[in-house]
Structure 1
């Protein structure tokens, strides 16, 4: 009878070794991002480990399914050395792949603030180009991968075994083992298999990234459709709760202002001294805040540049893991900011010093109505190429000011900086010139701020400057460094400034109502006197009676901000309700104490999800 247990025991021994390595990687991940999480007590540490084992075991069993079946099959040659060699190669290939995914996400989480998902496939081109730099910069992640791989190979060496029991008994062991592994593979015997939402249920949103693992979230996202039609509301109900058509009745302008929309790479709210009571890293942008209108409680709708671009230029929320421009719906008709501005006589152009075609910015901005695209190729001088992403901000913004001079007025130009993107390369002559606080991003932010200051200095000398409105915002925040506590919670993680500045002083003060990137298109149109109907998930920030809302989706979890409350929603239900303004760690779930608000906010985010799915599935982001 003992021989009958050899194969299952050997199987469990090998899977157990992988499970221990996953647990070790979980705590490597935690200590890498320890500043993004509270300090766990011993009981919390133990509970997180136990809950993490469920996700790890499920991931390992599913990924090793073919190997498990082949290892347990009651076949005559199960003890053959060649057969066992084939099984070992299969086992190592699968599990080294799992370890690679988890180790890749050790540095990658810092860019997105979420565990790995299918959208990473859209980053392969840039990732391969930057691979040598990333290996040098994040050498420790490569070292962790090598160590875990060596441990896996050494700890799973086994000798060939032969189960000599009767066929019927061996078949019984095979079936019994599969039943046990089936329940492990679905994460337990609950009604539904484990999903990322279950992490929130058991440990709360702050700890959810610790409990899951990157191989699990990647696999889960690959099996989920990017969009599903929802039937929570009838069409009439949806039009009432979440209308897509938005009426704009801007005041008529006798002299339409030019518009420059400046999107600054990684400019999170936390980096502006004027909004945090410190010196910050954007002294020039802070000076604009002092003479403009600052939306101090604004949020990015995405965690990456291409997602934010869809919200800022086209008013499309990122409710899919991948950016709209990389989905199957990218061919849908879009009426973006440029499209609407051209309707009222504006010329349009988009400026980005990045490699032409990178992230499909050129094709997407054209779809949004920006007739001219100025990128690295148009700049035409690789002397100022940073060897990573494109032309240094200083030179590109100076050149862009000259190109703006050539645009017929009134014009609407959108500009996107890049130097404050990892690996944060700035010209050698500026190294050590800006505050760094021990972090490369801080120095690059100072360089970008200086570049923006020089752009404004040049623009002030142009005849179009006096009649130009400047709108500044960050594309997203940056995760990979130490943050003040509020900026680590699920809402603060997306906090960016939105600033309206005009030389004639028409804007002033601070507005602490909730705003979002989705509000930029209707706000700009309202400001320049547009009159008509647009399709928009946002509202003009200049309307006093607008709802104070922001919609965010990250790793399959929706974050709905309304006033000072944050609702977390996953699958079909709310998983948390928090007063994010006072409960910094989002530790006090208010669903039980405030069920009416939880129900109301759940209904609103459901309407937004259904509306978004219908708009993309039916190609309804344009007026008909």
Structure 2
């Protein structure tokens, strides 16, 4: 009997131990990005993170506990029992190791512990793996192998305690009662205690330093517990206000709600320019403003900034390309833990710049050097008015492409020719381009900076700069408006937290012969505001873009930038900023508390809107 109970206790204890081991590994891995954390913080992470470690251990122990309970009454040959349990523990070990290794790798880019968000990007594993550097893949595979090996080593020794012989009914009866009592404690571990709040990620949050809260989070629990979060009741996701109050609050923020007292300020020389929208992969403002030994990392963006209309306080709405594209092209806010692009039935009805311009007689085409099937881009674009999509399979460069597709030097040169040819047709056009070389793993045919990230960004900047120079030297330039805007920011430097405004600050530049002259726009705005601003300059209606504000409109609504992260929002304007974290249901910062209501209204309205589509 002692062996039976000892086996169950050993399974639970071994699981708690290997789960707790993740925390010092994670803290050491990101120690450089978390200055000021000491031994006291490490111990606090271990202490507070223990609750979720116990929960995961409870789940892992449930099956061995039931098997042991059964062996009180029936015989299970030890060799067979140990084989079954070894197979079970190997499965647990491999799953845990893979989750941990992937989580450690992604945290540096995403800024939150692994959850079901990753499944959005695994519908096409080939494309998802394109962002994985070879050596990063090797390193994480080794980490997973070592961690799984350690777990299997411990569990194999634990299984030696397994006793499959029945005890006889006189012992089995009280033993079963004791085992059921033990099962009750195991259930409490799974539930997260006896309090009204069940186990959830926010239980381990204890510090105003979000990195420490994340370090305390068990990634296995974070991932598995989020699998059931994606339900169809979108409107109920963020119930901040009653429906009547929510609608009234949104009306005050609605981009197309206020009638302008005066015409939109003009920054173009014509109502019908040809339009080029270049979406710049990961072009963060922090990278654009970076120098190495006095030399700009992005000299072309700095040059173009001074030649065109420069938006000084411009922000991305999210941290992923698929969400950024929808914000730019449809004026629809990014979501926290889902992507509307991956919901075709919802995304197809979104307004879009392409659809509006197509209705005004523009030919519309979009170019990407990679695969537009990734994250359902092709479906979204065709459904929202892009008449022609040109991507990797259509481009004439042969089989020599990188992990993501053809590099920007090839595609930007081809796209310049494409724009010049479209101009010669004499018909108005909208041409879109998404760059790709400034994306992990930053493998580019370029060697200007030792830092791989900065070198990849510099390469894309060089390609875009040369493309713009070619267009400027052509007749197409005279009637051309080029919008350069990033799809999202980038965690550079690594000390940038995932939710702070600077992480989401990006460049937007309007240039081309159709621009009346250089100027600096100080108003706070974000990607969702491009649609109304562009269409306003063209004198085209934009009443269907509910969230988009014309940056050049002379009257309210209030000018601000709104963004989301997983799971929360940030709002920033000329007065202050506010950041709210949904996981911990806490205000991270609020130098202007009124902005919290702005963010809550937009977040709730976004999900209510999705639910109604």
What TM-score bracket applies, with the shorter chain setting the length?
A: 0.7 to 0.9
The aligned residue for residue 235 of structure 2 is 229
- Report whether the alignment pairs 1:107 with 2:123: no
Alignment match, 2:449: 435
Is residue 604 of structure 2 the alignment partner of residue 610 of structure 1? yes
Q: 1:223 to 1:202 in 2, by over 3 A?
A: farther
What CA distance in whole angstroms lies between the structure 1 residues aligned with 2:589 and 2:307? 36
8 A Cα contact 1:67 1:90, kept in partner: no
Partner of 2:27: 30
Query: Within 1, Cα distance between the matches of 2:144 and 2:324?
Result: 32
Bigger CA drift: 516-525 or 316-325?
316-325
The number of equivalent residue pairs is 589
CA distance in 2, matches of 1:240, 1:278: 51
- List gaps (5 residues or longer) in structure 1: 580-596, 620-624
- 1:328 and 1:346, CA in 2 relative to 1: closer, same or farther beyond 3 A? closer
Q: Contact 1:71 / 1:87 at 8 angstroms: preserved in 2?
A: no
Q: Name the SS of the counterpart of 2:74 in structure 1.
A: helix
SS at match of 1:533: coil
Does the CA contact (< 8 Å) of 2:122 and 2:128 recur in 1? no
Distance 1:347 1:602, change over 3 A: same
Shift of 1:573: 4.3
Alignment of 1:48-63 (within 5 A): 48-63=45-60
Counterpart in 1 of 2:464? Answer: 452
8 Å contact kept, 2:74–2:166? no
Taking a change above 3 Å as real, the CA distance of residues 236 and 279 of structure 1, as seen in their structure-2 partners, is: farther
In 1, the alpha carbon distance for the partners of 2:565 and 2:542 equals 33
2:420 equivalent to 1:405: yes
**2-side partners of 1:470 and 1:601: how far apart?**
32
Give, in whole Å, the separation in 2 of the partners of 1:213 and 1:292.
Answer: 48
Residue 411 (structure 2) pairs with residue 396 (structure 1): yes
1:373-522 pair list within 5 angstroms: 373-382=389-398, 384-386=400-402, 388-407=403-422, 408-427=426-445, 430=446, 432=447, 434-436=448-450, 439-479=451-491, 482-483=493-494, 485=495, 490-503=500-513, 506=516, 508-522=518-532
Per-residue CA deviations over 1:309-364 (Å, capped at 9, x if unaligned) read 11111122232523212136445412211112223332222111112423322221
1:241 and 2:241 aligned: no
Aligned equivalents of 2:563, 2:9: Cα separation in 1: 41
* Structural RMSD (CA): 3.0
> Relative to 1, partners in 2 of residues 1:572 and 1:42: Cα closer, same or farther, differing over 3 Å?
closer
Is contact 2:192–2:198 with CA below 8 Å preserved after alignment?
Answer: yes
Q: Distance in 1 between matches of 2:609 and 2:195?
A: 34
Could you tell me whether the CA contact under 8 Å between 1:520 and 1:540 is conserved in 2? yes
Q: Does 1:154 align with 2:153?
A: yes
Distance 1:509 1:331 in 2: 35
Instruction: Say if 1:23 and 1:49, in contact at 8 Å, map to a contact too.
Output: yes
Q: Give the direction of change, closer, same or farther, for the CA distance of 1:135–1:456 in structure 2 (3 Å limit).
A: closer
On the 8 A contact 1:113/1:303 being kept in 2, the answer is no
SS in structure 1 at match of 2:418? helix
What is the rounded CA distance, in whole Å, between the counterparts of 1:347 and 1:64 in structure 2?
61
| Kept in 2: contact 1:294–1:508 (CA 8 A) | yes
Measure, in 2, the Cα distance between the counterparts of 1:455 and 1:537.
32
Q: Write the distance in 2 (CA, Å) between the matches of 1:18 and 1:103.
A: 17
- CA distance in 1: counterparts of 2:58 and 2:560, whole angstroms: 41
User: Which residue of 1 is the match for residue 120 of structure 2?
Assistant: 122
| Change in 2 beyond 3 A, CA 1:279/1:293 | farther
Partners of 2:475 and 2:390 lie apart in 1 by 22
Q: 1:96 aligns with which of 71, 94, 97?
A: 94
> Aligned partners of 1:100, 1:49: CA distance in 2, in Å?
21
Change (3 A) 1:129 1:318: closer
Distance 1:411 1:297 in 2: 29
Question: Cα distance, 1:124 vs. partner?
Answer: 2.4
Tell me if the contact between 2:271 and 2:538 (Cα under 8 Å) persists in the aligned partners. no
* Aligned counterpart, 1:355: 371
Q: How has the CA–CA distance of structure 1 residues 154 and 286 changed in structure 2, closer, same or farther, with 3 Å as cutoff?
A: same
Q: Does residue 568 of the first structure (1) align with residue 562 of the second (2)?
A: no
Length-normalised TM-score, structure 2: 0.87
Distance in 2 (CA, whole Å) between partners of 1:422 and 1:65 is: 40
1:407-446 CA-partner distances (Å, limit 9, x unpaired) = 354322221101111221223xx3x2x223xx32211111
Q: Which runs of 5 or more residues in structure 2 are unaligned?
A: none
**527-536 or 505-514: bigger deviation:** 505-514
Distance 1:241 1:59 in 2: 41
The C-alpha deviation readout for 1:104-157, integer Å capped at 9, x for no partner, is 222222332222222322322553467596454332221111111121122222
Distance 2:524 2:270 in 1: 31
Q: State the SS of the aligned residue for 1:76.
A: coil
**Counterpart Cα distance in 2 of 1:70 and 1:511:** 68
Query: Shift of residue 270 of structure 1?
Result: 0.8
Say if 1:345 and 1:22 are closer, same or farther in 2 by CA, change over 3 A: same
> What does residue 84 of structure 1 align with?
82
Q: Aligned-pair distance for 1:52?
A: 1.6
Q: Following TM superposition, by how much is the alpha carbon of 1:172 offset from its aligned partner in structure 2, in angstroms?
A: 2.2
| Contact 2:45 2:213 (8 Å CA) reproduced | no
Separation in 2 of the partners of 1:258 and 1:351? Answer: 16
In structure 2, the partner of 1:211 is: 216
Structure 2: how far apart are the matches of 1:391 and 1:189?
56
1:508 Cα deviation from its structure 2 partner: 3.7
Task: State how far apart, in whole Å, the 2-side matches of 1:496 and 1:352 are.
Answer: 20
* Structural mapping, 1:249-398, within 5 Å: 251=264, 255-273=271-289, 279-327=295-343, 329-330=345-346, 332-382=348-398, 384-386=400-402, 388-398=403-413
Q: Which one is further off, 143-152 or 343-352?
A: 343-352
Q: For 1:555 and 1:488, how far apart are their aligned partners in 2?
A: 9
* Distance change in 2, residues 1:255/1:556 (3 Å): closer
In structure 2, the CA distance between the partners of 1:548 and 1:394, relative to structure 1 (3 Å rule), is same
Stretch of structure 1 that moved more, 300-309 or 234-243: 234-243
